[in-house]
Amino acid sequence: MTSTLRLALAVPLLVLPALVSCGDSDSGSGGPSASSAGSGGLVIRNPGSEDRDYFHDFGTVPAGEVVSRVWEIENTDPVPVTVRDLSASCSCTSSSISYVHESGELVKGSRLEKPVITLPPGAIARLEMRIDTQHVQVKNTDKLAMIVVRSDSKVTPFLRLEAHLVAKQAYQAAPSLIDLGDVPISSGARKHSDLITGIRGQAYAILGVESKSEGLEVGIEEILQGGERLWRVTAVLVPPLEPGLWEGEILLRSTKEDGTGEDTPFRLPVRGFIVPDVLVFPRALSFTDFDSEVGARADGELTALAPGHRVKVVDSLIQGAVPDGLVTSFEPIDPDAEGRSPRWRVSVVAPANLQESFFSGSLQLTLADPSQAPVQVNLVYRRPE
C-alpha cells in the first residue's frame, strides 16, 4: 500500500504536446507567438519574470489554497482583436478576462460563449489565471499550468501564459475522498482512508480530529506498516439522515514537518448519497431487444443495503401506460428458512405479440414487513428502428 502511494510522487511533469508545439523557447521574452512592444499584436505589459514575461512562479503553495496571477495584455494592433477562446491545460486552472472601455464601462469576457471578448485598439485587458491546488492531481512535485489565448490577431494568433508551483501536502490519502456510495437512510454507512506522510523524510504525525461535519463519527488508528507510520481514518455517517447527496469533511490535527507543534489541519472530504434501505439495481429497468418468438426481457436485482438486513418480496404491481401481457417474477438469491434474503432477482417479460415500439412505466414491489415502504423502479422499453 505504501509503495502505491509513493508512486504518485514519482510521476513526471506533464507537458501537453499541443501547447508545446506553439513555438516556445527558453530565451524568448514574450512566450510562444507573443509580440514585443512596437511590433503589434497582443503584448504583455506586466512581465511575470525577468527573462520570460509569459511565465510566473508561485513557488511552494499549501495544498487547498487558490492562487492567482493577473496579466495585463494590450492590443497594439490598429484594428480590434477578437479572443476566440481561452484554453486551460488542466481542470485545476481557470481564467477570466476583461477590459475597461474608454467610456469607463467594465467589459467582461464570456466564459460560456465563443468568441470570448473583442479588444479595441489600445485596450489593455486584465487576464486572471487561477489555480486551485486542491485539484492539482499530483502533490509535492512540480506543476506547470498553462492558459492558451487564441485570437484573430495576425501577429499573435496564439499567446501562452504559464505558471509553475508545487502544491505541498503533508499527507497522501488513499483514497483522497471517502466516498460512502449509496447510504441506506436508516443505518448509515462507514468507510476509511489510509494516510501516510506525503513528503519522504518528514516527521509529520496526525494528532486527532480538529473538526468534522455534523452526522459524522470519526475513528483514527495508527498502524506501523513496512517501517512507516500509517493513519487509518474511518468515517461513519449515522442517522438521522435526509435523502439525497450528502457532502462533508474531516479536518485532522497535524504536527509540523519536524514532528513538533501543530501545522495547518489536513482536510479529508467525505461524500455519500442517502437512499432508501432497499433499492432495485439498475435504477431503471431497460428491456432487451425484441424477439418475435420470445418477446423482450428486463432484469434487475432488489438489494437490501443495510448490513445484515433481509427482506421478503410478497407482491408486485406494474403501473403506467404499459401494454397488456407484461409478466413479473421475483425470487430470492440466498433465502433463509423464512424465505427472506438480502437480494432478489426481479424480471419483467414483454410478450412475443408486443406491438408497441415504446412504453414506460414503473414496477412496484411490496415487502412482507409492513413498516417498509414498497420499492419502486422505472420500466423503459424502446424498440430499435
Class of domain 171-275: mainly beta
Spell out the domain ranges in the chain: 14-168, 171-275, 278-382
Condensed to tens digits (0 to 9), the pLDDT of residues 135-154 reads 998 899 999 999 999 999 99
If we measure between CA atoms, which residue out of 85, 103, 272, 242 comes closest to residue 178?
A: 272
Residue 200's pLDDT is: 77
Comparing 14-168 with 171-275, is the CATH topology the same? yes
Condensed to tens digits (0 to 9), the pLDDT of residues 82-109 reads 999 999 999 999 999 999 999 999 999 9
* Residue 351 or residue 8, greater confidence: 351
pLDDT grade for 182, boundaries at 50, 70 and 90 = very high
Is the domain 14-168 a CATH 2.60.40.10 member?
Answer: yes
Distance CA 225, CA 19 (A): 42
How many angstroms separate the Cα of 307 from the Cα of each of 13, 101, 140, 164, 367? 44, 64, 39, 48, 18
Checking if the pLDDT of 61 tops 50, the result is: yes
If we measure between CA atoms, which residue out of 84, 110, 113 comes closest to residue 97?
A: 110
Q: For residue 282, what are the β-bridge partners?
A: none
pLDDT grade for 294, boundaries at 50, 70 and 90 = confident
How many angstroms separate the Cα of 64 from the Cα of each of 167, 171, 212, 256, 308? 8, 12, 17, 17, 39
Q: Which option is the CATH number for 278-382: 2.60.40.10, 3.90.550.10, 2.30.42.10, 1.10.10.60?
A: 2.60.40.10
Percent of the chain with pLDDT over 70: 90
pLDDT grade for 22, boundaries at 50, 70 and 90 = very low
Contact indicator for 134, 64 with CB cutoff of 8 Å: yes
- For residue 19, the 8-state DSSP code is H
Residue 292's pLDDT is: 84
How many angstroms separate the Cα of 310 from the Cα of each of 222, 235, 314, 316? 35, 25, 13, 18
Locate 147 and state its grid cell: 492558459
